[in-house]
Chains A and B, each alone.
Chain A
Amino acid sequence: MVNNQPKISVENLRLSYGHREVLHGLSFSVAPKEILGVIGPAQSGKTSLLRCLNRTIDFVSNAFVSGSITIDGEDVLRTSDVHTLRRKVGMVSPLPVGLPLSIYDNVAFAPRCAGIKNKDELDARVERCLRQAALWDEVKDRLHTLGTKLSGGQQQRLTIARALSHDPEILCLDEFSIAIDPVTTMRIEDVLKELKSHMTILLVTNLVQQARRLADRTMFLWNGEIVELDRTEAIFSNQPRDKRTYDYIHGLFG
């Protein structure tokens, strides 16, 4: 395999909502099987960036995107098959969302939408994804109860299982830990370390230490611009290249 070709490559990405530009020309690339941490204060454009990657930005009626995003050499912004794209890019949202379906159907939802009907194949896939999300042991005896009745931490792992259910090659996590307790957070972090062996991961987080623990490289996004993107050790060293990075990481911002 050509390993030096980037998995995701973003060139001069600009995004505006109406007349307000929120991403001012981002350029960066992500290598295969890398964890890229994205840190930055609220309103810095982290979530908007992820929404561009899987084209759910299409659902925001006044959004206008320019520049280019390529995943495996395919132009994301101009692809005609957004559904295949979204299956390739798994997305975990900040607040856990259990769909009002059974636990089983929550995980089987995406494969079914993709046209998989075979019961055995669905069973195997549901079990694999729930195991990957470290949820299987807790729910294996009640797969047909409602997913919305699980606790917050369990629902977030269910969300991750659902994001894995369509075999994504890239997994985007958007502040996945803001609604769950530290113990569950650590469990999910362990899950991510394992997934890294065969997946590219974009980890948007408001916990800078989480990026430090997991990310190979870290990007500091501020007001829609990349302030700094470097190896995580360099970012968290006492001498990052930009003073703003130091201030943000050490809580001296503003």
Chain B
Amino acid sequence: MRRELVARIVLGAMVAAMVLPLLAIIAYLVAKGAPLISLKFLTTNPTHGMREGGIWSALLGTIYLVVIALAVSAPIGVLCAVYLNEYAKDNWLTRMINLAVVNLAGVPSIVHALFGLGAFVLFAGIGRSILAASLTLAIMTLPVIIASTKEALAAVPMSFREACWNVGASRWQTIWSIVLPNSLSGILTGVILQVSRTAGETAPIMFTGAVFFKKIQSGTLFAYSLTDQCMALSMHLYTVTTQVTNAPEPLPYAIALVLLGAVLAVNAASIVVRSLLRSRKKW
């Protein structure tokens, strides 16, 4: 009984140690940054050397980067995982590829940034642009999406596949009608979690397409073109805190709050999607 009590207290304390800092961070950001946030703050460009105005160009830039990066990496990653999990024979080449995927997921983002600079900006001649930055982010998220998708596919019981093969279904018919529908919630969760990672990374975009300041037309979603350089929230936060002298004190907190809020909103959406799909779980 004593042990049970000790275990409860210790484990509970660990949970608190994880939850409390998160709550503290959010409370701190809200207290410091909330007064500045308004619709006008979100939808106007920064002015006066970024000391006044809003964050519109940075917000839109982040949206562009995230959407384009995932539009590239999600289909490639999911299909790659389908191949690795459903088609590839278990031989040394497959094991090498799996090892490469795991290692690629562990490469620091600044290294991805250098690769993006070399491969997309210079070698491919795209130049510093939204496209080059998005592709760099896509390369960074690809291995994680492959890993999470493979896990979701592997969670579909082997007996379902065997039952399909036994009645003469081809591999693709089996994947399309049984495996993918039943692993969709896991796949989507893995992809959506990468939204927050893509939105938060600064290093990969610093060399490849993000700039300190850029004025864009406000009020339209199509203010950037793919070959433009752009601002991004994570980069803007860095700039405002370290490069701009005499910036108003609440400004960085407001930027951080917007970034955090957007990420939390996307994650919440993923939880809703997952629970919707899970409630239709079929076995």
Within 8 A of A (CB), among B267-283: 282-283
A87 at the A/B interface (Cβ < 8 Å)?
A: yes
- In the docked arrangement, what's the CA distance between A110 and B167, Å? 6
Known: A61-B89, A100-B282. Is A93-B168 also a contact (CB below 8 A)? no
Which chain A positions have C-beta within 8 A of B182?
100
Residues of A within 8 A of B167 (CB): 86-87, 90-91, 109-110, 113, 162-163, 165-166
Contact A97 B159 (CB under 8 A): yes
Is B177 interfacial (CB 8 A cutoff)? Answer: yes
The answer to whether B168 and A148 have CB atoms under 8 Å apart is no
Which of A12-66 touch B at CB < 8 Å? 54, 56, 59, 61-62
Cα of A24 to Cα of B248 in the assembled complex, Å: 83
Judging by beta carbons under 8 Å apart, are B165 and A86 in contact?
A: yes
A62 to B165, CA, bound (A): 18
Check B160–A83 contact: CB distance below 8 A.
no
A217 and B190 CA atoms in complex are apart in Å by 54
Q: In the bound complex, do residue B169 and residue A109 qualify as a contact, i.e. CB atoms below 8 Å apart?
A: yes
Q: What separation, in Å, do the CA atoms of A80 and B178 have in the docked complex?
A: 25
Q: In the complex the two chains form, is B178's CB within 8 Å of A100's CB?
A: yes
Given A93-B159, A95-B159, A148-B282, A59 and B165 contact (CB-CB distance below 8 Å): yes
B162 near A113 (CB under 8 angstroms)?
A: no
A114 to B164, CA, bound (A): 12
Residues of chain A contacted by B159 (CB below 8 angstroms): 93, 95, 97
Partner of A83, one of B168, B282, B283: B168
CB 8 Å contact bits of B58-93 with A (1 = contact, 0 = none):
000000000000000000000000000000011100
B38 within 8 A of A: no
Asked if B283 contacts A113 (CB within 8 A), the reply is no
Bound together, the chains give a CA A86 to CA B173 distance in angstroms of 14
18 residue pairs of the A-B complex, CB under 8 angstroms, read A54-B166, A61-B89, A86-B167, A87-B168, A93-B159, A93-B163, A93-B166, A99-B178, A100-B182, A109-B164, A109-B177, A110-B169, A113-B168, A113-B170, A148-B282, A162-B163, A163-B166, A166-B168
